[in-house]
């Protein structure tokens, strides 16, 4: 009972407050941008060479304000925001009017989740195992891996992606230059289409894996090396505890704690997409949509994407908080 009172309830309250503040920030910050969605819409026509006469502009401004629901006071819009949040209907996209935000999310999210969840989990598993082994054993050949990772890690993602493209799409044209699915294909559930999708996802996934592994590998390795020098490990070794036990029960188990936190936070972040990956590989996803939405002050679309992202991050943190006591007895006994 005291665990629930002292640990669980405060965290649930914290979760509700953080989510509420996060969502309110989503409402406020886009409206502080100097970008006006109606004017951006107008200038988009002009930028692309479509002549809009001044008389037309006046009419367009009037109509778009009505259609976009930007006519009420800020408070009215805030109330509408919460209504939309709780009904799960984020309204129409302003920059892609009148397409509903939900439709855009349904189109883009599966691609983002498919790519990023697989690469996030895989890179985490590989990095944890490899980082743990290299961190503990420190063999000569392992140093080579460490050096390789040290070289890869500071390379900007864009360059890594370009190297992969040049290697596997240009010099050895094994993979397509981009896209989520082959030209002429339509999305359907058959083996050929699924394989075609995997083929298109392979290069973006590989680049994300390499970068993800390099980043987490070093974290894991350093954590393991640090734990190795801690008193309880030295004591265990002195007491003659067998190495397997030391590695798994004393080192890896402790090293896993920050890595689990990292994984949880990364999972929450998935919902914001991977903009550079999408741009370089012209891969479908939520990143490009979010970028366009911010650039064009599409309040509803920003709200739709960020609501999911905020809820995902706060829920991940809550989930981590809830499962932490199972991994870390210190939390249970605090």
Partner 1 sequence: MQPLKKVFLVLAILLVLFSFTGTSAQVLPQGIPRDKTLILPFLFAPLPVPGNWNQWAGWRAQNCGLHQFVTEPLWTLNPDVVKGGIINALASEGPIYNKDFTRLVIKLRKGIYWSDGVEFTADDVVFTIQKVKETEGLDYHGAMQDVKRVYATDRYTVVVDLNKPNARFHTFFLERWGALRPMPKHIFSKVKDILTYDFNPPVSLGPYVYVSHDPAGYWVLWKKRIDWQRTVTGQLFGEPKPEYVLFIHYGPPEKQNMAMLRHELDVIQGTAEQMLTMLKMSNTTRSYRDTWPYIDPRDISTRGPAFNHLVFPYNNKDVRWALALSIDIVELAISTYNGMVAMTPGLPLVVGKNFYDWYFKPLEAWLKNLTLDIGGGEKFKPWDPDAPWRLLDWAKKNYKVDIDPKNKEEVQLTLGYGWWKYAPEVAEKLLVKNGFKKIGGKWHLPDGKPWKITILRGPDPTDMANIVILGVAEQWKKFGIDVVFNVSAAAATLALNGQFEVLNTGHGGFAGEPWGLHPDLYLCFNAMNSKYVRPVGEPTLGWACRWSDPRMDKIISSLEKTRWSDLATIKKLGLEGLKLQIEEMVAIPCFNCPIAIVFDEYYWTNWPSPKNDYARCDNFTTWPQLKYILHQIRPTGRK
> Under the criterion CB under 8 A, does residue 246 sit at the interface with partner 1?
no
Closer of 60 and 241 to partner 1 (Cβ): 60
Nearest residue to 271 (alpha-carbon basis) of 33, 123, 108, 104: 108
> Under the criterion CB under 8 A, does residue 127 sit at the interface with partner 1?
no
CB atoms within 10 A of CB 284: 22
- Residue 99, both tokens: 């397409």
Is residue 259 within 8 A of residue 216, CB to CB? The reply is: yes
Q: Which of 18, 80, 107, 241 binds partner 1 (CB under 8 A)?
A: 107
Cα separation, 307 vs 138, in Å, equals 44
CB atoms within 10 A of CB 316: 20
- The interface with partner 1 within residues 62-91 (CB under 8 A) comprises 63-64, 66-67
Q: How many residues does the chain have?
A: 334
> Under the criterion CB under 8 A, does residue 214 sit at the interface with partner 1?
no
- The interface with partner 1 within residues 43-62 (CB under 8 A) comprises 43-51, 53-61
Closer of 179 and 269 to partner 1 (Cβ): 179
Q: Which of 23, 133, 165, 313 binds partner 1 (CB under 8 A)?
A: 165
- Residue 239, both tokens: 């007491």
Closer of 195 and 222 to partner 1 (Cβ): 195
- Residue 105, both tokens: 């999310």
- The interface with partner 1 within residues 289-308 (CB under 8 A) comprises 292, 294-295, 297
Q: How far is the CB of 219 from partner 1 (least distance, A)?
A: 23
- The interface with partner 1 within residues 18-37 (CB under 8 A) comprises 33-36
Alpha helix stretches (DSSP H) within 243-298: 243-245, 253-269, 275-280, 286-295
Nearest residue to 216 (alpha-carbon basis) of 320, 326, 139, 121: 121
> Under the criterion CB under 8 A, does residue 170 sit at the interface with partner 1?
yes
Q: How far is the CB of 232 from partner 1 (least distance, A)?
A: 31
Closer of 8 and 198 to partner 1 (Cβ): 198
Q: Which of 7, 12, 19, 39 binds partner 1 (CB under 8 A)?
A: 39
Q: Which of 1, 5, 73, 173 binds partner 1 (CB under 8 A)?
A: 173
Q: Output helix, strand, coil percentages for the chain, rounded to the nearest 5.
A: 80, 0, 20
Window of 184-192, 249-257, 303-311, 313-321 that interacts with partner 1 by CB under 8 A: 184-192
Q: What are phi and psi of 92, to 5 degrees?
A: -85, 150
């Amino acid at each position: 009972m005291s665990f629930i009172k002292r640990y669980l309830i405060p965290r649930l309250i914290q979760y509700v407050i953080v989510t509420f503040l996060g969502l309110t920030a989503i409402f406020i910050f886009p409206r502080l941008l100097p970008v006006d969605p109606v004017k951006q819409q107008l200038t988009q026509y002009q930028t692309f060479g479509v002549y809009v006469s001044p008389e037309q502009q006046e009419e367009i401004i009037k109509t778009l304000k009505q259609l976009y629901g930007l006519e009420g006071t800020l408070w009215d819009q805030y109330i509408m925001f919460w209504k939309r949040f709780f009904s799960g209907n984020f309204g129409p996209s302003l920059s892609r009017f009148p397409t509903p935000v939900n439709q855009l999310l349904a189109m883009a999210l599966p691609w983002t989740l498919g790519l990023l969840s697989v690469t996030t989990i895989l890179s985490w598993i590989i990095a944890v195992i490899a980082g743990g082994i290299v961190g503990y054993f420190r063999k000569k050949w392992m140093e080579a891996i460490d050096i390789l990772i040290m070289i890869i890690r500071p390379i900007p993602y864009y360059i890594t992606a370009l190297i992969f493209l040049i290697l596997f799409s240009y010099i050895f044209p094994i993979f397509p230059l981009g896209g989520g699915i082959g030209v002429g294909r339509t999305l359907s559930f058959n083996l050929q289409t699924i394989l075609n999708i995997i083929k298109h996802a392979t290069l973006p996934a590989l680049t994300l894996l390499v970068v993800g592994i390099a980043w987490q590998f070093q974290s894991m390795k350093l954590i393991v090396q640090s734990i190795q020098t801690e008193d309880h490990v030295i004591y265990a070794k002195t007491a003659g505890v067998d190495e397997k036990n030391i590695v798994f029960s004393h080192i890896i188990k402790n090293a896993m704690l920050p890595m689990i936190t990292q994984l949880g936070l990364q999972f929450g972040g998935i919902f914001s997409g991977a903009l550079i990956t999408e741009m370089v590989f012209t891969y479908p996803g939520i990143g490009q949509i979010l970028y366009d939405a911010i650039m064009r002050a599409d309040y509803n679309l920003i709200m739709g994407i960020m609501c999911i992202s905020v809820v995902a991050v706060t829920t991940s943190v809550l989930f981590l908080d809830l499962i932490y006591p199972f991994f870390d007895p210190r939390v249970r006994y605090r």
